[in-house]
Structure 1
Amino acid sequence: MTNLLEKALITGFGIFILTIFLSMINPFVMEISKFNDNINIDIAKYDDFFFEVDTGIKFIIENRNATYIKSIEYPNNLNITLTDFYCKYEYVIGNEKYYKIIEYVKPFIDRSYINLPANNYILRISNIFDFIEVQFN
């Protein structure tokens, strides 16, 4: 009988300790969850931005005499380098740096956008002397 009582007390004490541990760790789990949600939101913003710029560049490649103008939200921590046939994006999510390089069939006017503040800009893409010009105003 004492053996059964010992097992019940040990099980009860284990459940008590586990409850205390989970109540102490719960706020940290919530913070980690919020951090992951913020990362997912940042990734979605970058993807939307890349898609909009890519769409504009492809539009100008297909329509040489047109000008692509659109209001666009420029995300945080994004650097863009346009050179030769490449558009290079360098961005930070969390504490890690990521790169995305897209190659096009027409060359760009060499330009870099470094440390632009996150804001709404007018994206203007045009064709000048068979070169693609990308501007954020």
Structure 2
Amino acid sequence: MEDDSLLESFWAVTRRLRERTKITLEPWHVSPSQSRALGVLSRHGEVRLSVLAERLHIAPRSATEVVDDLQERGLVERKPDPTDRRATLVVLTPGGVATAAAIHEARATEGERLFAGLDPADRTELARILNLLREAR
């Protein structure tokens, strides 16, 4: 890592994570954004399409496209919001629940592989630093 700056090292790790994520998701034929949507729905249950967009940090139009693709594959379904007829809720189907769980397990295994070279103290310190960066806005 001779003359690499901290930022260059960070980007190199980010690229490596993206590459591994794409490979990890291949068995389910989902994109990273579709995987993230499945994860949000798995953790939070049914949510409005607008809330899903907010949690994914994407435009509502993009969230609609993600949900359209997932719905076409039978992983999610839309249903009317009983408290607001203008709103739509998105919910995982049983197939979506199974897919989200399988993806979560595969990503956890891949994460363990990535961080396996760090001793427990380094892992703890890295987690602390990453949480600081995540919270700094």
- TM-score (norm: length of structure 2): 0.28
User: Which structure dedicates a bigger proportion of its chain to helix?
Assistant: 2
User: Which structure dedicates a bigger proportion of its chain to strand?
Assistant: 1
